[in-house]
Amino acid sequence: MENVLQNRGYLTDKGFRSWAYTLDHKRIGVMYLFTTLFFFLVGGVFGLLIRLELLKPASWLFSDQVYNELFTMHGAMMIFLFIIPGIPSGFGNFFIPLLVGARDVAFPRLNIASYWIFIAGILVVTGSLVHPMDTGWTFYTPYSAKTAASVTLLSFGIFLVGMSSILTGLNFIVTIHKLRAPGMTWLRMPLFIWGMYATSIIQVLATPVIGITFLLLAAERIFGIGFFDPAKGGDPLLFQHFFWFYSHPVVYVMILPAMGIISEVIPVFSRKPIFGYKAIAYSSLTIAFAGFLVWGHHMFVAGISNIAAIIFSFLTFSVAIPTGIKVFNWITTLYKGKIYLDSPMIYALTFIFLFIIGGLTGPFLGALATDVHLHDTYFVVAHFHYTMMGGTVMGLFAGLHYWFPKMTGRMLSEKAAKLAWLFIFIGFNITFFNMFILGFRGMPRRYAEYQPQYQGQHIVSTVGSWILAVGIIIMFYNFIRCMRNGEIAPANPWSGRTLEWQVTSPPPTHNFDEIPVVTKWPYDMGRRDGQ
C-alpha cells in the first residue's frame, strides 16, 4: 500500500543535530513528549513491582528498604518527570503557538534551553539512584535530612527539573500575552490556551518554593543548617509548609492542561459550541488562584494549630466550586450534541467520569474529622490516582489520540485504540476503586507488610494493575506502529475549528504561510466537514 508521507513539514530535516539544536517549538514539544512518556512507562514498571510485593502480607519479593525505595521512585518519577512536564511541555509547546496563530513561542532559545536543563535534571536524578531515595516522594524531614540515600543529588536534580518547568511557564505566559494573532482577543482564545495560561502562572509562582525547599534540605545535609531540625531549634513542619505550598498548587498544574484538552475535544466530538466558555475560562484562573490557599490540608494530623487546620479545611472546599463549574459545562455541551465516539472522545468522557469520582473523594479528606481517619491510608492513594491518572493521564491520552494525526501526519488505528481503552478502563477501576475501600478499612499507605485481612483486596488491585498494564502496552503499540504505517491523515480529520487544523498534518516548520487574522471564536462547530 502506497502509504508514504509526502509532505513531512516540520519533520523534514533529519539527524541528531536537527533535533538537539532545534528552535522549533514543535520539535521541542515532541522531544518532551517522548521523554515524559518514557518516564511514565518506567514509573509504571515501578508501580507494577509495588503491586507484586503487595500480593502477600509479609515481605516476599523485596526487602522493606527496597520497597521504600520503589514507592519513592514511583512517586517522584511519575510526578516530577512525567505528569508535571507532560502535557504542558509536550502539548503546550507543540500547540500553544499554533492555537494562538504565532510562528513560535516568545523565547525559542529559552525553550530549547529548558529542554536541556530538563535532561540535565533527569541525569542527576538518575545519578541519585546509586543510593535511591526511601523517604516517600514527599521527602519529609527529619528522615530526609538523615537518611543515607542520595538526597542531595536528588534535590539538585529536581531543582533543575523545576527550573525547566519555570522557564516553560514563563515562555508561555509571554507568548499568550504578546504573540496572539491579530483579532484573537482573550475571549477568542481556545480554552486549552486559557488552561495553559493558568497553569503557567502556577508554575512560575509555586515552583520556586520547591526550589528553595530542596536547597534548604541539601543545605541541612551539607552545612548542618537547622531550619527543620528540632535539636537546633528548627521545625520539621516548616519543611512541610514549604513543600506543600508548591505541591498543592502543582496538582493544578497537572489537571488544568488536561481540562484544557477536554474543553477542546468535547465540542469537536459533539459538534456543538462549548457551553459556558467564559465560565470555563475564568474558572481556570480561579482554580489556579484558589489552589494556593489550601496547602495546609496535607498537614491536618501533622501537628499544625487548630486555627490553621480550620482555615485550610474551609478554604479547601472552595476549590471544588470552579472545578464543578467546568464539569457542568462539559456535560451541558454534550446535551443535544451529535456525539462521535472516536478515541479522543472516549478518553475525554472517561476523564469526566473518573475525575468526578476522584474529585468527590477530595472533600472526605478536606473535612477535618474524616481526614483524621483517612489520612495516610489507601483512601488517599485511590483519591490521587483517580484525579491524576483517571484525570490528567486520561486527558493526556485524549490529547494524544486527538493530536496524533496533526503531529505525525498519520491516523491511529481506532480498533486498537478502543481495545486498549477497554483494558485501561477496566484495569484502572479494579486497581484503584478497590483502594477506597481498603483505605476505609484502615490499610495504611507505604506499608510493605500488612495485616492478613487486607490480602484479598490487595490481590484484586494487583490483578487490576496487570489488566491496566496490558491496556497501556496495546496503546503504545498502536502509537509506535501507526507512526510508521498509519493511514495518511488529512489536515483536519476531526473537523476542528481551532487554528492548528488550518495547517497541514504535520505542520510546516514556520506554522503558517501567513499569520491568520482571527474574526471569531473557535467553537462554531456545525457538521463535520464533507457531511
Residues of this chain that interact with other proteins (CB under 8 A) are 13, 15, 17-18, 21-24, 102-104, 106-108, 110, 166, 170-171, 173-174, 177-179, 204-209, 211-213, 215-216, 219, 223-227, 232-235, 237-238, 241-242, 245, 292-293, 295-296, 299, 303-308, 311, 509-510, 515
∠ CA 462-41-62, rounded to 5°: 50
Q: Residue 128: name the closest of 152, 145, 163, 96 by CA.
A: 152
* Nearest to other proteins of 58, 307 (CB atom): 307
CB 455 within 8 A of CB 469: no
We find the least distance from the C-beta atom of residue 474 to other proteins, in angstroms, to be 35
We find the least distance from the C-beta atom of residue 27 to other proteins, in angstroms, to be 8
* Nearest to other proteins of 120, 219 (CB atom): 219
* Nearest to other proteins of 167, 396 (CB atom): 167
CB 174 within 8 A of CB 141: no
* Nearest to other proteins of 102, 189 (CB atom): 102
We find the least distance from the C-beta atom of residue 145 to other proteins, in angstroms, to be 12
We find the least distance from the C-beta atom of residue 152 to other proteins, in angstroms, to be 15
* Nearest to other proteins of 159, 402 (CB atom): 159
Burial of 317 (0-12, 13-18, 19+ CB in 10 A): middle
We find the least distance from the C-beta atom of residue 511 to other proteins, in angstroms, to be 9
* Nearest to other proteins of 190, 296 (CB atom): 296
We find the least distance from the C-beta atom of residue 194 to other proteins, in angstroms, to be 17
Burial of 320 (0-12, 13-18, 19+ CB in 10 A): middle
H helical segments located in 91-150: 93-100, 108-127, 143-146
Task: Tell me the three cell numbers of residue 78.
Answer: 511519575
We find the least distance from the C-beta atom of residue 306 to other proteins, in angstroms, to be 7
Task: Tell me the three cell numbers of residue 319.
Answer: 476549590
H helical segments located in 179-190: none
Rounded Cα distance, 466 and 470, in Å: 6
* Nearest to other proteins of 63, 305 (CB atom): 305
Task: Tell me the three cell numbers of residue 443.
Answer: 490499610
We find the least distance from the C-beta atom of residue 311 to other proteins, in angstroms, to be 6
Task: Tell me the three cell numbers of residue 136.
Answer: 516517600
Task: Tell me the Cα Rg of the chain.
Answer: 23
Task: Give every CB contact of residue 295 below 8 A, 6+ residues apart in sequence.
Answer: 241, 244, 245, 247, 248, 249, 312
CA 348 vs CA 391, 443, 453: distances in Å: 9, 32, 37
We find the least distance from the C-beta atom of residue 180 to other proteins, in angstroms, to be 10
* Nearest to other proteins of 22, 343 (CB atom): 22
* Nearest to other proteins of 2, 514 (CB atom): 514
